C-alpha cells in the first residue's frame, strides 16, 4: 500500500487512486459521518447551490433535508447549515441530505471517479483505518479540503491521525507506506498535537472563524477522535451511504472460501 496526502483538491494529480479519502474536519465530513450514524439514508453532495435545489425538488419533502453552508453560515433556503450537532436522529433518520459546503463538497467532486471514495474526520478515524487494513488498496489518497484552495491544519492533522494509526496497527515502517513527503509532515503534526486536538482546531484559521460565529460546541465535537463507528462510502458519484464493514468482511470471507 502506498499512501499519499494532498492538502487541497488543486494539488492532486490528474490520475485517480484505487481509494480516495476526503477529509473536511471543519465540518463537512464530520457532518456526513454524524448524519449517516444518525440514520440518514444517504448524503448527496453538490458544489452548486442551484443544482442542489433543482435535484432535491424531485425528492419527497418529508424525505429530504437541505444542508447548505458558505463562509461557515447557513445558506438561505436550506434546512440546516453545516453543524454536525444538528444531525440528530429526529432530523435526519430515513432522509436524504442534499449538501453543499464551501470546501468539502468540492473535494469530493474532485475524486468522485475513483474506484472507491470514502470520507473521514477525526470522529470516525478508526473506521477508516479498519477499512484500509481489511481491503488493502494499492494506492490511497488522503485529500484535505482546505479552505478556498489554501492549506488547513485540521485536515492535515486528521490525515496524520489516519496514517499514524495505519502504520502502527499494520506494523509497516513509514518509509514503506509513505508515497510523498506530505505523509511525514501529517504524521509529525498529529504526534505533536494528538493530546491537544481541541486546542489545535481553535488555533486553525477556520477554527478561529467558527469561534467568531460562536460555534464552540461544533469545535469540541469535531476535535473528538474515534467517536463514531461509521464509514461513509460513495455508492454512486456524489452519493455517500453508510458502509457495513462487518457485512463486507463476511462477504469477502465467503467469496474467498468459494474460490
Domain boundaries, the chain: 2-239
| Per-residue pLDDT at 245 exceeds 80 | no
Residues in the chain: 259
In this prediction, residue 95 has a pLDDT band, given cuts at 50, 70 and 90, of very high
DSSP SS3 for 139: strand
Average pLDDT over residues 226-247: 89
* Sign of the dihedral through C-alpha 77, 65, 144, 209: positive
Residue among 86, 85, 50, 55 nearest 70 (CA): 50
Distances (CA, A) of 231 to 35, 128, 131, 157, 208: 11, 6, 8, 19, 28
Please give the CATH number for the structural domain made up of 2-239.
Answer: 3.90.1560.10
Residue among 156, 166, 227, 157 nearest 193 (CA): 157
| Per-residue pLDDT at 55 exceeds 80 | yes
Q: What's the confidence (pLDDT) of residue 105?
A: 84
Q: What's the confidence (pLDDT) of residue 149?
A: 84
Phi, psi of 77, deg, nearest 5: 90, -5
Amino acid at each position: 500500500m502506498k499512501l499519499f496526502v494532498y492538502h487541497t483538491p488543486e494539488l492532486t494529480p490528474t490520475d485517480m487512486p484505487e481509494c480516495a479519502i476526503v477529509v473536511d474536519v471543519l465540518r463537512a465530513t464530520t457532518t456526513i459521518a454524524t448524519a449517516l450514524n444518525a440514520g440518514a439514508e444517504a448524503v448527496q453532495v453538490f458544489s452548486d447551490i442551484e443544482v442542489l435545489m433543482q435535484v432535491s425538488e424531485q425528492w419527497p419533502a418529508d424525505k429530504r433535508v437541505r444542508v447548505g453552508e458558505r463562509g461557515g453560515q447557513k445558506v438561505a433556503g436550506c434546512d440546516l447549515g453545516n453543524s454536525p450537532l444538528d444531525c440528530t436522529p429526529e432530523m435526519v433518520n430515513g432522509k436524504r441530505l442534499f449538501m453543499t459546503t464551501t470546501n468539502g463538497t468540492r473535494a469530493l467532486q474532485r475524486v468522485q471517479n475513483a474506484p472507491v471514495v470514502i470520507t473521514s474526520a477525526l470522529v470516525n478515524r478508526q473506521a477508516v483505518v479498519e477499512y484500509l487494513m481489511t481491503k488493502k488498496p494499492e494506492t490511497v489518497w488522503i485529500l484535505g479540503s482546505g479552505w478556498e484552495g489554501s492549506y488547513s491544519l485540521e485536515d492535515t492533522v486528521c490525515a496524520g491521525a489516519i496514517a499514524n494509526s495505519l502504520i502502527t496497527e499494520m506494523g509497516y515502517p513509514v518509509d514503506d507506506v509513505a508515497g510523498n513527503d506530505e505523509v511525514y509532515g501529517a504524521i509529525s503534526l498529529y504526534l505533536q498535537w494528538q493530546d491537544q486536538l481541541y486546542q489545535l482546531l481553535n488555533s486553525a484559521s477556520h477554527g478561529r472563524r467558527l469561534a467568531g460565529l460562536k460555534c464552540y460546541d461544533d469545535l469540541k465535537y469535531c476535535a473528538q477522535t474515534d467517536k463514531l463507528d461509521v464509514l461513509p462510502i460513495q455508492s454512486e458519484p456524489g452519493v455517500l451511504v453508510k458502509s457495513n464493514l462487518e457485512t463486507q468482511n463476511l462477504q469477502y470471507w465467503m467469496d474467498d472460501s468459494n474460490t
